Structure 1
């Protein structure tokens, strides 16, 4: 798996990238949990999501936020990390100038960054988030949410209570033309310690459902 180094707004960023199949593969980016809690681009859920997109022919990137691993810079409480994500998407588009679409996904802190990026980049057509920290950050910027997506949460998450996520999902679901698929996994905690396979299966089923209409439109 190719290691890549690309320029962010405040220094070089380290990532792992796989180029997709075909002439115009869609793009996907996976963002890792909170840098100050020891998370990196090799987080188990990030790694699983990354390979889920790879198996479906996407050009896929995961990377370390500033100050993590070989990425330069220091933690910036979300502002700099959002710029990191924007730089990462710019880098991907440079290598995929005719991409057929774009997805973003994230875990925990990375999910918060992913949703902010979604608001700023109209080319993003879908999202998948796990352990969305709805009680820790202000999500009022999702007004309106520009894309349908998937939110998966652990029913026994003690870091972010399920009620706060359900409240956000209900608010987003009131928007016309936007469909938010929400799945609460029984027995799962914030880290999906024993339910990673179930999380993967939910994400894969959702992605395949979203991709199917596009595949059917392609002449055989």
Structure 2
């Protein structure tokens, strides 16, 4: 699992990646939670999802947002972190052109960044948003949402109340041309403590179904 340093808008970006040898293999980019609340690319759920995507045949990358680990810069309230994610995706596209599928997977703050990246990058085919902070950040920019995706949330989340995420899901459901799958993890908190395996299995099932039957979600 190569440890790499990429050029980013605020200096170097620390990343890990695992590639596939198959030409045109799908790609996945995994975004960690809030940098100011302990979020890093080495958090267990990020690590597990990273390996899950690779195990499903994806060239997969995870990285530290600016100011985290060996990534340079300082926290930028979202704008800079979006630029970081875009820079990593640029690197992936240059090194691995013409992927069969492109996933963006974000956790909490990373889900908010991932959804913004989705709006700006037409090559992204599908998204996974885990514990999207719908009560903290405005998701109104998803109008219209350009791709189908999965939203996962815990029913015992005290940081982002589940009803706020349900409202986001309901709003997305009204948009034509996409399908939003919403899975609630019973009893899970915002960090999915003791429920990480359930999250990974939920995402794995969705990703497998999407890549096997891509036209069912248009």
Q: Tell me which interval the TM-score lies in, with the shorter structure as reference length.
A: over 0.9
Aligned to 1:71: 71
Aligned to 1:110: 110
Aligned to 2:124: 124
C-alpha displacement at 1:20, in angstroms?
1.6
State whether residues 21 and 57 of structure 1, in contact with CA within 8 Å, keep that contact through their aligned partners in structure 2: no
State whether residues 9 and 84 of structure 1, in contact with CA within 8 Å, keep that contact through their aligned partners in structure 2: yes
Partners of 2:213 and 2:68 in 1: CA distance: 38
C-alpha displacement at 1:101, in angstroms?
2.2
Q: Could you tell me the TM-score, scaled by structure 2's length?
A: 0.96
Once the two structures are superposed, the pairs formed by residues 197-216 of structure 1 within 5 Å of their partners are: 197-213=197-213
Aligned to 2:37: 37
Partners of 1:10 and 1:93 in 2: CA distance: 20
Gaps of 5+ in 2: none
- Per the alignment, in what secondary structure is the counterpart of residue 6 of structure 2? strand
- Per the alignment, in what secondary structure is the counterpart of residue 17 of structure 1? strand
- Per the alignment, in what secondary structure is the counterpart of residue 213 of structure 2? helix
Gaps of 5+ in 1: 215-220
Q: Does 1:192 align with 2:192?
A: yes
Q: What is the aligned residue count?
A: 215
Q: Could you tell me the TM-score, scaled by structure 1's length?
A: 0.96
Aligned to 1:173: 173
Aligned to 2:4: 4
Partners of 2:23 and 2:148 in 1: CA distance: 26
Aligned to 1:139: 139
C-alpha displacement at 1:176, in angstroms?
0.8
Partners of 1:108 and 1:213 in 2: CA distance: 27
Aligned to 2:94: 94
Partners of 2:212 and 2:99 in 1: CA distance: 17
State whether residues 17 and 59 of structure 2, in contact with CA within 8 Å, keep that contact through their aligned partners in structure 1: yes
Aligned to 1:217: none
State whether residues 29 and 89 of structure 1, in contact with CA within 8 Å, keep that contact through their aligned partners in structure 2: yes
Partners of 1:193 and 1:112 in 2: CA distance: 21
Q: Which runs of 4+ in 1 moved over 4 A?
A: none
C-alpha displacement at 1:213, in angstroms?
2.4
State whether residues 101 and 211 of structure 2, in contact with CA within 8 Å, keep that contact through their aligned partners in structure 1: no
Partners of 2:213 and 2:152 in 1: CA distance: 23
- Per the alignment, in what secondary structure is the counterpart of residue 192 of structure 1? coil
Aligned to 2:25: 25
State whether residues 21 and 58 of structure 1, in contact with CA within 8 Å, keep that contact through their aligned partners in structure 2: no
- Per the alignment, in what secondary structure is the counterpart of residue 98 of structure 1? coil
C-alpha displacement at 1:24, in angstroms?
1.2
Once the two structures are superposed, the pairs formed by residues 44-55 of structure 1 within 5 Å of their partners are: 44-55=44-55
More off after superposition, 158-167 vs 97-106: 97-106
